[in-house]
Amino acid sequence: MQHTFLMVKPDGVRRQLIGNIVRRFENRGFVLVGAKMMTISREQAERHYGQHKEKPFFGELVDFITSGPVFAMIWRGDNLIEVSRIMMGKTNPLEAAPGTIRGDFATYVGENVIHGSDSPESAERELENFFSTDELLAAGVLSSATDRIVI
């Protein structure tokens, strides 16, 4: 059993794809245990995408992810991290297989509809960046306020 962080990006929210995306993960057997609509601060966005700080597209990435509300989610399920990455499809939608979220809904790498953690370490870091201790407790990701998330 794993937890992961998934997020419908501003393009997905604008295009009213939240329901479609949630349905895909529910149909697959995963459980949505926490979610909220929010607008990310620049500081939070820079922390989230810290590994891409030196990339030429970093500024565009932060501008885009803060350009409107996102739908941030906590999901639970077996082998969730690996399976969710497969369901999302490749980062560049032009290379993403039809049937995947990016392969069905996107054409441009800068606006590819969904984010999902790529490892247990990323999931832990990203969940802590987007959700408060109370929210993580309510979702069952933490069992007590002094716990660390263990994915």
Active site annotation includes 48: no
Of ligand GDP, Mg ion, none, which one does residue 109 interact with (CB within 5 to 8 Å by kind)? ligand GDP
> Does the footprint of ligand GDP cover residue 118 (CB under 6 A)?
yes
Two tokens at 87?
């369901």
> Does the footprint of ligand GDP cover residue 119 (CB under 6 A)?
no
At position 75, the amino acid (one-letter code) is W
Q: Where are the alpha helices (DSSP H) in 29-142?
A: 42-48, 58-65, 80-88, 101-105, 120-130, 133-139
Closest among 79, 75, 91 to 6, alpha carbons compared:
75
With CB atoms as reference, the residue minimizing the distance to ligand GDP is 110
> Does the footprint of ligand GDP cover residue 73 (CB under 6 A)?
no
Handedness of CA 105, 107, 108, 109 (dihedral sign): positive
Q: Near ligand GDP by CB under 6 A, which window of 20-28, 70-78, 111-119, 140-148?
A: 111-119
> Does the footprint of ligand GDP cover residue 13 (CB under 6 A)?
no
Closest among 96, 71, 80, 91 to 25, alpha carbons compared:
80
- Which residues of the shown chain bind ligand GDP in the complex (CB under 6 A)? 52, 57, 60-61, 91, 109-110, 112, 115, 118
Residues known to be catalytic: 115
